[in-house]
Structures are given as C-alpha cells and as structure tokens.
Amino acid sequence: MQERAVQTRQTLISAAAEVFAQRGFAAATMSDILEAAGVTKGALYFHFRSKEELAHAIFTEDRRYADVDTASDAGPLQELIDLSHQFARALQTDPVARASVRLAIELTFVEGEEPAGYGTWQHTVTTLLERAAEHGELAEGVQPEAAANVIVGSFTGLQLLSEARSDRVDLHTTLVDWWRILVLGLASPEAVGRLVPEGTARPADSTPVATG
C-alpha cells in the first residue's frame, strides 16, 4: 500500500505538471488535474488539498535539476554552464521542469514559501559563483550574489524567448551565444580561455571561448 501511495502521488505531480505547463496556474483546476492523472477524487485529495500544495510539490521535484552532473575537475564556472544546459534539456523534455518555470513566473509566492521557484536556483548559482571566486575564476570586482541575480534573471528571459520563438528547440544554441558573451565579463582572463559555452556534456561540438 505504501508503494502504491508513492506511485499515486508521483502520478498526481506529473499530471499537475502537464496541466500547469499547458494552462498555467490560474486557468488550471483540480478537476483538470484529476482527469489527467486518472485517479479517484479521494486519492487526489488524500495527497494534495489544493493547487498550491501541488505547485509546492512541483518546486520540490524541480530541485533535482539544481545538482549538476559534470567532470569533477571542470571548475565551478564550467559546472554552472553545464547546469544551465542540463536544465535547458529538462525544459525541452520534462513537464515538471516546464511547469516549475511557468509557476515561478506566474506566482509571486506559494503559501508559506519564499518567492516561488527561484530560491533554490538563486542559492545554487550563488554557491557556484562563490566557489569560482575562491578558485580565482571570477573577474575582478564581480560579486557572486549580484552576478547570480543577473544569471537567474537573464536565463529566465532567454528560455521564455526561446519558448515563444521555437518552443525551446533553439534553447541550446541560445544559451551558447549567451555564455560566450557573459563569460567575457564574468570570468577572469585565465578562466575565459578554458570555459566551454556549449557545456562539457557535448564534447563533439564544444569549443573554448575565443579571447583574441
């Protein structure tokens, strides 16, 4: 029974993510989510009493994308680049990732929470930039927290532009262009030349940033 309950809960989160990603928080109803999940009304309300609780669960699920899978010796800035591409691929394939972004934009707060969806990403990016500063990878005068604000905010805008323009098909190439420009002001001269804007998960088409 416990395993079945876990599966039912995950089914509800996945269904809610599909509905929120397609319709947004305001337009979605619990009936829509119930229909998409294909479970009983009792099962839905046993796990989640409201749309707000489902949104909170989606933000929690989305935190798995805050852990980057990259080479251990890549360095913090390369980890950050890789993380952005990892999340970009999730936005193309995973309704939970798409829903989390849409909910974060549409909702200022989820009850009892900090600004919805952004806290985890702000913390992750700031942490990586602080590590980059310790490793001498940041340009002189770059403050990790201020830079994290710019990165999280501009990534949000870029993925929205990509969604409107191509349903996020061009998000990878958009991020490559973004990183090629961004690292020139973000990274120290020593770090710029070894950074791979395409991400290290794409070795076949990856090239360092040109500095001269």
What architecture (CATH level 2) is domain 2-61? Orthogonal Bundle (1.10)
Task: Return d(Cα 82, Cα 65) in angstroms, integer.
Answer: 11
For residue 45, give every residue at least 6 positions away whose Cβ sits within 8 Å of its Cβ, in sequence order, or none: none
User: Which residue, 89, 8, 86, 95, is CA-closest to 47?
Assistant: 8
Whether pLDDT at 23 is above 80: yes
% of the chain residues with pLDDT over 70? 86
pLDDT bin (cut points 50, 70, 90) of residue 22 is very high
CB 57 within 8 A of CB 98: no
**195-212 average pLDDT score:** 62
| Range scoring the smallest mean pLDDT among 111-115, 120-124, 129-133, 187-191 | 111-115
Quickly name the fold that domain 62-205 has: Tetracycline Repressor; domain 2 (1.10.357)
- Work out the percent of the chain whose per-residue pLDDT is above 90: 68
- How many angstroms separate the CA atoms of 201 and 87, rounded? 12
Phi, psi of 29 (to 5 degrees): -125, 160
**Average pLDDT rounded to a whole number, residues 2-18:** 92
Cα-to-chain-centroid distance, residue 51: 21
Q: Binning pLDDT at 50, 70 and 90, where does residue 114 land? A: low
Read off the pLDDT of each residue in 7-22 and give the average, rounded to a whole number: 94
How far apart (Å, rounded) are the C-alpha atoms in residues 25 and 40? 21
Give the domain ranges of the chain. 2-61, 62-205
Contact criterion met (CB below 8 Å) for 162 and 175? no
Over residues 25-48, the mean pLDDT reads 93
* Cα–Cα dist 54/16, whole Å: 7
Predicted TM-score (pTM) of the model is 0.81
Please give the Cα distance from 100 to 80 (Å, whole number).
19
Integer distance in angstroms from the first to the last C-alpha of the chain?
63
The reply to whether domains 2-61 and 62-205 share a CATH topology is no
Residues 6+ apart with CB under 8 A from 179: 81, 84, 195, 197, 209
pLDDT at 133 over 70: yes
Distance CA 129, CA 136 (A): 10
